[in-house]
Amino acid sequence: MKRRGIQEILEGGYGRVLRYLSPDRYRQYAKRRTASRYDMCREPSEDYYAGIYLHFIREDLSRRFGARPLKILDVGCGQGRLSIPLARDGHTLTGIDISDDAIGMARAYASMEQVRVEWIPDDLSSLKVQLPDTLFDCIICTELLYMVEDPEAFIKELLGWLQEGGLLLLSLRTRFYYLLTSIKRGDWDMASLVARGFSGTMDGLLFHWHTKASIGDMLSHLGLQPIRYRGIGILSGIPGDPLGSICMPSPLDPEERKALMDIELLLAEDYAENGRYLYVAAKVASQPGA
């Protein structure tokens, strides 16, 4: 048996035991394992979705700040698929992720690209020690909030590092995505839960999902004003995604990928709630709770 196969069996067994003995520790283990094993810079189709994110991020940064270089924090940066291109644009980037392996790969990729990013292999609590007085013009947090225990509390913590007048860029799982996922699995109990609420347990892990209304309410409660919403992957997905049965970017030739991206960018606002993720740009509007 190949070494990789043995490792997967051992890790799978450990995960099942941990899930039984300590659900909270299992959730942390599963998040770290996913971050370590899934390379967002190399997995098929992820470069395509990075291109969509970067299109919206660059557009929002330009509208808010013009062309000046910015201090940007990328929370849950993974292997640096957004941090590295933005650093190449001339911005000062700090990337933080709980996975040591992911940060290690991010360092290697940044070195190959000859760009400088400050990488922090830890959770948000380490920022208070390493960067106690640092404020950022923009904080990016993509494809992470749907897995955290309390998304609103997490965003509130992020605001402690956001400069006055700064920009918060988030992406969250859509209710539509989990409805399709549940129905595709034939899990009608889960589909009913998704239709009626905004969080639930799947495969032993707690997940959250949102609509424009739900994320707008949450951000408003925190004193944030959503500026715009966009859908990420409204007509496509990766293997395992329900939208992947419609189209996956990876098998397409360059012209087909461009055509797909042009359509997804054109319709991203109209179908913001119908993608794999809901991207939202927000600014501070008032005091939290006001």
pLDDT tens per residue, range 221-253:
999 999 999 999 999 999 989 999 999 999 999
Specify whether 107 is located in the same domain as 230: yes
Please check whether residue 290 lies inside any domain of the structure.
no
Specify whether 150 is located in the same domain as 27: no
83 touches 146 (CB < 8 A):
no
More confident residue, 106 or 290: 106
pLDDT over 70 at 25, yes or no: no
Please check whether residue 239 lies inside any domain of the structure.
yes
Tokens of 50: 């990075």
Please check whether residue 94 lies inside any domain of the structure.
yes
17 touches 195 (CB < 8 A):
no
Specify whether 12 is located in the same domain as 81: no
Specify whether 210 is located in the same domain as 141: yes
Confidence (pLDDT) at 131: 80
As a dihedral over the C-alpha atoms of residue 191, residue 192, residue 196, residue 197, rounded to 10 degrees, the angle is -50
Specify whether 18 is located in the same domain as 98: no
Specify whether 97 is located in the same domain as 33: no
Specify whether 46 is located in the same domain as 33: no
Predicted model pTM: 0.86
Specify whether 160 is located in the same domain as 18: no
Confidence (pLDDT) at 288: 43
Specify whether 66 is located in the same domain as 126: yes
Q: What is the CATH number of the domain that holds 185?
A: 3.40.50.150
Give the three-class secondary structure for 95: strand
Specify whether 223 is located in the same domain as 154: yes
Radius of gyration of the chain measured on its C-alpha atoms: 19
Work out how many domains the chain is built from and give that number: 2
Please check whether residue 271 lies inside any domain of the structure.
yes
pLDDT over 50 at 23, yes or no: no
Distance (Å, whole) CA 189 – CA 254: 40
As a dihedral over the C-alpha atoms of residue 89, residue 94, residue 98, residue 104, rounded to 10 degrees, the angle is 60
Specify whether 188 is located in the same domain as 67: yes
Q: pLDDT tens digit string along 143-179?
A: 999 999 999 999 999 999 999 999 999 999 999 999 9
Please check whether residue 289 lies inside any domain of the structure.
no
Confidence (pLDDT) at 72: 98
Question: What is the residue range of 26's domain?
Answer: 1-37
